[in-house]
Amino acid sequence: MKTPLVFLTAMTALSAAELTYPVTKRVDVVDDYHGTKIADPYRWLEDDNSDETKAWVVAQNKVTHEFLDTIPQRAALRERLTKLWNYERFSAPFERGGRFFYSHNTGLQNQSVLYVTEALDQPGRVLLDPNTLSKDGTVSLTESTPSEDGKLLVYGTSAGGSDWQEFRVRDVATGKDLADVVKWVKFSNASWAKDGSGFFYSRYDEPKAGDALKGKNEFQKLFFHKIGTEQSADALFYERKDHADWGFGGHVTDDGNYLLIHVSQGTDPKNRVFYKDLTQPESKVVELLTDYDADYGFADNDGPIFFFRTDLDAPRYRVIAIDTRKPERAAWKEVIPQTADKLEGASFVGGKVFCEYLKDARSEVKVFSQLSALNSQLLTLPGIGNVGGFSGRGKDTHTFFSYTSFTEPGAIYRLDIATLQSVVWRKPAVDFDSAAYETKQVFFTSKDGTRVPMFITHKRGLALDGTAPTVLYGYGGFNIPMTPAFSVSRAVWLEKGGVYVVANLRGGGEYGAEWHKAGTKLQKQNVFDDFIGAAEWLIANKYTASPKLAIQGGSNGGLLVGACMTQRPELFGAALPAVGVMDMLRFHKFTIGWAWKSDYGSSENADEFRALLAYSPLHTLKPGTRYPATMVTTADHDDRVVPAHSFKFAARLQECQAKDGPPVLIRIETSAGHGAGTALNKVIEQSADQLGFLMKAFGM
């Protein structure tokens, strides 16, 4: 197929931009992996505290922002993003002690605000405003759990986007904080004792000076904090000195009688489950599920009978009941069997079980009479989209759920449990004509014959002539499904005539355990083949052509983009890898990276090393290759995927890019992390930069 002249003109103009990249020194570092010598000349960039690295960050940002400043559409994009983001957003409310708690953002607040009200038909009052906790809006609210009587609130905050949290306690009536402070919390919820005397939480030991954002996180411990005491007096409830990689999540059952301990091992969906009878203070922790053979998600209990959503002998999940008085497997009972669709969640509320299914990556909800899989009703949803919520207790008469799609922002519905009739509780008014766009789901065949779904959203009446600028987004990992969701930046892209595509790749959680495993470890290449197959389908079906096709993804999705742009650089016109895992040989050496071995494998294993080396973005870049226009994005406080991944990849990409190739830049945000909790003003700035970069690359 001939490339239209407009494409050539746009790309030539972009290639002609004279950029002088900062000089990145090379050091003589060589590692031996099972007899294979691998050079790592940019190892020094792993030290985020060094003056050299800090100077390199400043120099790279200077080049990037000077280039972005030449994009004429950028100011208009920023203005449109700001206007479109200026709409009210709510979370679904939940009740404790006769009070309802929910979050609300008036539109352009950097962080959403926590509200409380005694009645849903009355205006709420501000309980906690994170925007007042820092001058630049970079302190975010990470946890907010009220006590059973609704009188106290334990809340967590994170500074600058870090995964580290600090927990505090607020009096709900007065809005004043108590003296309690709990530090060095990470990857943990808070769960109150029934009587409100304190809460369970998990933490790590305080890291060494300078290691907070890069040191390994190991030996997590489960504690109980008693209200009114110092953290040093917290009771250690559970630890395992023999298992550095075990993580613990404490959850008190709704009746207050049991503490469930969810025992994870890295990011593997499989887990163990222990419990303690809280009615017997001297009781020991009981190791209920120890085989580490499946995913067991606690859903509810009826006294000593525990209900779990599990993929044991059911890759698409089912619900089982275990009587703790007769815990042997022969006595387990199936409550809700596996179906053709993946059971994404099961909530026991108001005497019914709300089961959220993924039907080809879009939501379907069935409501079962409790403990009876023979009597179910299909909940009516507004369209092709994604739902969430259905939280509550056994005595509740109503529950709430959210619904969103690629063109509709999240509306909150109040559902009468007896009649299953829903009414809108809050629906935002957005300056976006959703009726002018359509979403369709298509299926394509991957390299090995696997049928893979993807969603395509664009203006109605789009001409399929191969000229539409297109963004292809993917993730493909850690059993996480990519479902329909509204995005302001994507809405602006659609308004500019762009096409937005989400591919549901293997490695994700769209179809259950088998789909996930098919994209892990030695089979990880399947994920990249799926993404490349999606791109080829879009081109073959004349949605776009390579010069106007961009790929985008974050975190594991950043790895996806990095791997695909190095394997098929000619297939894409632009690439936006964000906070990506780019060095597949050393990811396990930083913060929580070791936990990803369940998906990736490890360079410590000879067979897995060879598989990792074959696709590791950092190691597959080749000098003199013409790579697509690329803007790598990361943040200085990302302690999930440390920024060294992006630093080293960008340095090597600039070294390898063909002399006549388009720009390859790195944008490094300050006082931000892996993404969650990022101040809205920073989100708007980065979105304007990414959209502007694409419009420049595509000559739009």
pLDDT digits (tens, 9 = 90+) for 433-442: 999 999 999 9
Which residue spans within 150-245 are E strands per DSSP?
152-159, 165-171, 177-185, 191-192, 198-203, 221-226, 235-238
What's residue 116's pLDDT? 98
Is the pLDDT score of 444 beyond 70? yes
- What is the four-CA torsion angle of 65, 66, 68, 73, rounded to 10 degrees? 130
The mean pLDDT of 93-99, rounded to a whole number, is: 94
All structural domains of the chain with their residue ranges: 5-83+432-698, 88-252
Residue 288 Ramachandran class (φ > 0 left, ψ -120 to 50 alpha, else beta): alpha
The one-letter amino acid at 320: I
d(CA 419, CA 674): 42
What's residue 637's pLDDT? 67
More reliable by pLDDT, 229 or 371? 229
Is the pLDDT score of 296 beyond 80? yes
What's residue 135's pLDDT? 86
Q: Which residues contact 270 (CB under 8 A, 6 or more apart)?
A: 292, 293, 294, 295
Mean pLDDT lowest for which of 237-246, 371-380, 529-538, 594-603?
371-380
The mean pLDDT of 509-523, rounded to a whole number, is: 97
Within 10 A of 630 (CB to CB), how many other CB atoms are there? Answer: 29
Residue labelled with tokens 């469930």: 260
Angle between the N-to-C axes of helices 680-698 and 488-495, in degrees from 0 to 180, rounded to the nearest 10: 30
Active site residues: 555, 674
Mean pLDDT lowest for which of 15-29, 198-212, 348-362?
15-29
DSSP letters of 420-442?
--EEEEE----S--GGGEEEEEE
The mean pLDDT of 405-418, rounded to a whole number, is: 94
What's residue 8's pLDDT? 37
The mean pLDDT of 167-173, rounded to a whole number, is: 98
The mean pLDDT of 362-378, rounded to a whole number, is: 84
Strand partners, 275: 260, 286
d(CA 660, CA 666): 19
d(CA 512, CA 266): 19
d(CA 355, CA 341): 11
Task: Output the six-digit token pair for 244.
Answer: 């550095």
Per-residue pLDDT band for 674 (boundaries 50, 70, 90) equals low
Q: Do residues 10 and 697 lie in contact, with contact meaning Cβ atoms separated by under 8 Å? A: yes
The mean pLDDT of 159-175, rounded to a whole number, is: 92
Fold entry, domain 88-252:
Methylamine Dehydrogenase; Chain H (2.130.10)
The mean pLDDT of 282-286, rounded to a whole number, is: 94
Q: Do residues 582 and 649 lie in contact, with contact meaning Cβ atoms separated by under 8 Å? A: yes
Percent of the chain with pLDDT over 90: 86
Q: Do residues 473 and 501 lie in contact, with contact meaning Cβ atoms separated by under 8 Å? A: yes
What's residue 216's pLDDT? 82
pLDDT tens-digit map of 50-94 = 999 999 999 999 999 999 999 999 999 999 999 999 999 999 999
What's residue 672's pLDDT? 59
Is the pLDDT score of 384 beyond 60? yes
CATH number for the region 5-83+432-698 comes to 3.40.50.1820
d(CA 194, CA 200): 11
SS3 343: strand
Per-residue pLDDT band for 373 (boundaries 50, 70, 90) equals low
More reliable by pLDDT, 137 or 597? 597
How many residues make up the chain in this entry?
700
362-369, strands of its sheet edge to edge: 342-349, 352-359, 362-369, 376-378
> CA 199, 182, 140: angle at the middle one, nearest 5?
100
Residue labelled with tokens 């789009």: 462
pLDDT tens-digit map of 108-125 = 999 999 999 999 989 899
Residue labelled with tokens 């890019």: 657
Residue 116 phi, psi (nearest 5):
-140, 145
Q: What is the mean pLDDT of the chain?
A: 93
Closest CA to 83 of 430, 360, 542, 409: 430
pLDDT tens-digit map of 5-39 = 333 334 444 543 579 999 999 999 999 999 999 99
Q: Which residues contact 438 (CB under 8 A, 6 or more apart)?
A: 407, 457, 458, 459, 460
- CB crowding 477-507: b at 16 or more within 10 Å, else e: bbbbbbbbebebbbbbbbebebbbbbbbbbb
Is the pLDDT score of 156 beyond 50? yes
What's residue 4's pLDDT? 35
d(CA 363, CA 390): 13
The one-letter amino acid at 360: D
The mean pLDDT of 203-222, rounded to a whole number, is: 88
What's residue 65's pLDDT? 96
Q: Do residues 418 and 495 lie in contact, with contact meaning Cβ atoms separated by under 8 Å? A: no
d(CA 621, CA 41): 14
Q: Do residues 271 and 243 lie in contact, with contact meaning Cβ atoms separated by under 8 Å? A: no
Is the pLDDT score of 218 beyond 70? yes
Residue 73 phi, psi (nearest 5):
-80, -10
Closest CA to 122 of 105, 100, 138: 100
The mean pLDDT of 341-351, rounded to a whole number, is: 96
Which residue spans within 324-463 are E strands per DSSP?
333-336, 342-349, 352-359, 362-369, 376-378, 386-389, 398-404, 411-416, 422-426, 437-445, 451-459
